[in-house]
């Protein structure tokens, strides 16, 4: 069996025996048949209600006409700016879809006050807000909804006429949207988990309203669905799944290499990390800067390089994956489910995500006395988990103390609770120099966005990580209507809660707080390069 539309080429890695085992166990056809027993008895209850993604290329078709009709209404009224309030699975797929299509979508998946203020100030008179949450209770999305409703009302705009909700049937958001008279309520398939929801209403509604060709996405997935369901050694999903979960390498560095698909690594990062990072095992995905990135050009011995497009010559072990965006969504979902079986974990739960949320809520409900920094240097307040900063009195020494905890099989995670699209964005440039400096895989995540992605792996995966958290004082805070906390207080609690849970899991954490963001970012760029 071959597919002209989708290809997975593996270089320098022999997983044929693993693939043969998957074929013998009829794994591909059993996934397509929604067999919840593939991942063991403990996973069966969750898996039985999480396999709807396998046929979304068919079941999501009725959405197309509804989205097209709403788009025509909005355009007729001059409403051409779509803002998406959503986190994790509710935002990452639309971000990839619209970036690849070259259409504008404002993705608001942060609680940083600066980012919120910028989104509110940009063409509010032409804006429609898509409020997207599977549970309907996500604190970030609820806060974003509240502040936009207030802004519309203050501007003399009927807020409900500018609001579109995407959620699961029976959620609190569904009830609220109906009572408030939202312009449209889209109910998604409840039998699909958030990170597998690219081709549900969560991926299609905001992308379609922004102007992307969402029918082509479903067509792309439909064109390969039969191939991915075959129990055949040439099945691309089995080949990729074996490379991810059966190669002996527990880290995968993902690069876009001339595929024409933009931002896919961030989507795949959530899919793989949240699906596999639990029970002390998993595959760490690394979203890289491209084919020249050191994590893919010269991968460490425990890293598999994965390219969207053809793998460059001389990079081994590596896998090259070609195909349209819709086909790739379905391929990587299948492959991740296959990897979960090989790793003997449940790829559909996320047991450690809630811990950081609970810690943040606790800090908001009962704010503790501010923790004094160990020391302050150039406006950067320095704190660390127990024992990390003993005898340390400089920024350089603090970073050295953290990196000294980095083992030969470890990774460094930089976690920036800042504005990823504003002036703070330049901080992301430190990832590649840190890879070169440490010789170890390095991830960079924007908080609280990554809490719905790699946050699960950080706590539930192997205890290999060392963690550098960066926070910053907001220039201007933003109130959240009818809530006793501001966006600035919320993001601060989320960062503190994350650090608290990591420390409870005995992960070393260095916390740097920038009292002046512009100066602090420049200081850190100089320090971390």
Q: What is the mean pLDDT of residues 304-318?
A: 93
Question: 3-state SS of 142-173?
Answer: HHHHHHHHHHHHHCCCCHHHHEEEEECCCCHH
Reported confidence tier of residue 353, pLDDT bands at 50, 70, 90: confident
Mean pLDDT value of segment 310-334: 95
Confidence of residue 257 (pLDDT cuts 50, 70, 90): confident
Picking from 126, 277, 138, 122, the residue whose alpha carbon sits closest to that of residue 202 is 138
Nearest to 167 by CA among 258, 89, 221: 89
Supply the pLDDT for residue 424.
Answer: 95
Give yes or no for residue 1 having a pLDDT over 70: no
- Cβ burial of 49 (10 Å; 0-12, 13-18, 19+) is middle
Nearest one of 431, 449, 28 to 240, comparing CA atoms: 28
Other Cβ atoms closer than 10 A to 485: 17
Has residue 2 got a pLDDT over 60?
no
- Judge whether 59-214 and 353-528 match in fold: yes
DSSP letter for each residue of 340-383: HHHHTS-TT--TTHHHHHHHHHHHHHSPPPPPPPSEEETTEEEE
Q: How far is CA 80 from CA 73, 101, 105, 125, 372, in A?
A: 10, 16, 10, 10, 47
The token pair that represents 201 in the structure block: 């209403």
- Tell whether the model's pLDDT for residue 4 goes beyond 80: no
Sheet holding 184-187, edge to edge: 106-108, 81-85, 127-132, 163-167, 184-187
Residue with tokens 């008279």: 181
pLDDT more than 90, % of the chain: 92
pLDDT band per the 50, 70, 90 thresholds, residue 370: confident
Q: Give this prediction's pTM.
A: 0.96
Q: Give Cα 257 distance to the centre of its chain.
A: 20
Domain extents in the chain:
6-55+218-343, 59-214, 353-528
Q: Helix crossing, 236-245 with 325-343: angle to 10°?
A: 50
Structure-block tokens of residue 129: 């807000």
Please write the tens of the pLDDT for every residue from 209-249.
999 999 999 999 999 999 999 999 999 999 999 999 999 99
31 CB-side CA count, 13 A: 31
Task: Say if residue 3's pLDDT is above 90.
Answer: no
Quickly name the fold that domain 6-55+218-343 has.
Rossmann fold (3.40.50)
> What's the pLDDT at 5?
73
Residue bearing tokens 């053809």: 310
Confidence at 69, pLDDT banded by 50, 70, 90: very high
Q: What's the pLDDT score for residue 110?
A: 97
pLDDT of residue 63: 98
pLDDT on residue 236: 97
What CATH number belongs to 353-528? 3.40.50.10490
- pLDDT for 202 beyond 50: yes
Helix (H) or strand (E) holding 513: strand 509-514
Question: Using CA atoms, how far apart are residues 420 and 427, in angstroms rounded to an integer?
Answer: 9
DSSP structural state of residue 486: B
Query: pLDDT at residue 398 above 90?
Result: yes
| Each residue's pLDDT tens digit, 291-302 | 899 999 999 999
- pLDDT band at residue 368 using 50, 70 and 90 as cut-offs: confident
Domain 59-214: give its CATH code.
3.40.50.10490
Distance CA 297, CA 317 (A): 10
480: exposed, middle or buried (C-beta count within 10 Å: 0-12, 13-18, 19+)?
buried
pLDDT in tens, 421-452: 988 999 999 999 999 999 999 999 999 999 98
What is the spatial distance between Cα 157 and Cα 386, in angstroms, rounded to a whole number?
51
Q: Per residue in 474-489, pLDDT tens?
A: 999 999 999 999 999 9
Q: Please, what is the end-to-end C-alpha distance for the chain in angstroms?
A: 48
How far is the C-alpha of 441 from the C-alpha of 96, rounded, in Å? 24
Neighbours of 58 (CB within 10 A): 12
Mean pLDDT (the chain, rounded): 95
């Amino acid at each position: 069996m071959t597919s002209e539309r989708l290809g997975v080429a593996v270089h320098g890695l022999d997983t044929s025996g693993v693939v043969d085992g998957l074929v013998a166990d009829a794994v591909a056809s059993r996934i397509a048949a929604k067999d919840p027993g593939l991942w063991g008895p403990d996973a069966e209850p969750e898996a039985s209600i999480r396999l709807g993604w396998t046929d979304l290329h068919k079941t999501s078709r009725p959405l197309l006409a509804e989205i097209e009709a709403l788009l025509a209404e909005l355009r007729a009224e001059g409403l051409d700016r779509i803002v998406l309030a959503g986190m994790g699975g509710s935002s990452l797929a639309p971000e990839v879809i619209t970036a690849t299509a070259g259409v504008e979508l404002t993705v608001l998946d942060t609680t940083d006050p600066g980012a919120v203020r910028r989104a509110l100030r940009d063409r509010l008179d032409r804006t429609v807000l898509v409020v997207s949450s599977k549970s309907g209770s996500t604190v970030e999305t609820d806060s974003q909804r509240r502040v936009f409703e207030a802004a519309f009302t203050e501007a003399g705009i009927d807020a409900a006429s500018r609001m579109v909700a995407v959620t699961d049937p029976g959620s609190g958001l569904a009830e609220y949207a109906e009572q408030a008279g939202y312009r449209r309520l889209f109910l998604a398939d409840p039998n699909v988990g958030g990170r597998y929801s690219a081709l549900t209403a969560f991926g299609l509604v905001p992308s379609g309203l922004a102007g992307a060709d969402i029918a082509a996405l479903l067509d792309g997935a439909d064109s390969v669905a039969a191939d991915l369901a075959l129990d055949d050694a040439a099945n691309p999903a089995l080949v990729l799944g074996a490379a991810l979960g059966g190669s002996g390498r527990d880290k995968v560095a993902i690069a876009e290499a001339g595929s024409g698909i933009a931002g896919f690594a961030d989507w795949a990062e959530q899919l793989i990390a949240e699906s596999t990072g639990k029970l002390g095992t998993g595959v760490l995905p690394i979203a890289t800067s491209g084919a020249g990135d050191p994590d893919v050009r010269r991968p460490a011995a425990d890293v598999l390089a994965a390219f969207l497009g053809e793998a460059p010559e001389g990079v081994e072990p590596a896998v090259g994956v070609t195909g349209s965006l819709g086909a790739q969504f379905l391929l990587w979902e299948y492959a991740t489910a296959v990897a979960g079986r090989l790793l003997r974990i449940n790829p559909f739960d996320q047991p450690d995500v809630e811990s950081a949320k609970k810690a943040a809520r606790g800090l908001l409900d009962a704010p503790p006395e501010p923790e004094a920094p160990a020391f302050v240097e150039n406006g950067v307040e320095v704190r660390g988990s127990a024992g990390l900063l003993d005898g340390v009195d400089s920024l350089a020494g603090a970073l050295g103390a953290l990196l000294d905890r980095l083992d030969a099989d470890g990774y460094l995670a930089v976690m920036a609770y800042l504005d990823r699209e504003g002036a703070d964005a330049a901080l992301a440039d430190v990832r590649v120099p840190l890879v070169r400096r440490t010789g170890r895989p390095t991830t960079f995540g924007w908080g609280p966005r990554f809490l719905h992605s790699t946050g699960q792996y950080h706590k539930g995966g192997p205890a290999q990580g060392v963690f550098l958290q960066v926070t910053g004082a907001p220039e201007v805070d933003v109130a959240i209507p009818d809530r006793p906390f501001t966006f600035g207080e919320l993001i601060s609690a989320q960062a503190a809660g994350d650090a608290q849970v990591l420390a409870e899991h005995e992960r070393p954490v260095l916390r740097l707080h920038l009292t002046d963001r512009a100066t602090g970012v420049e200081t850190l760029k100089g320090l971390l390069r």
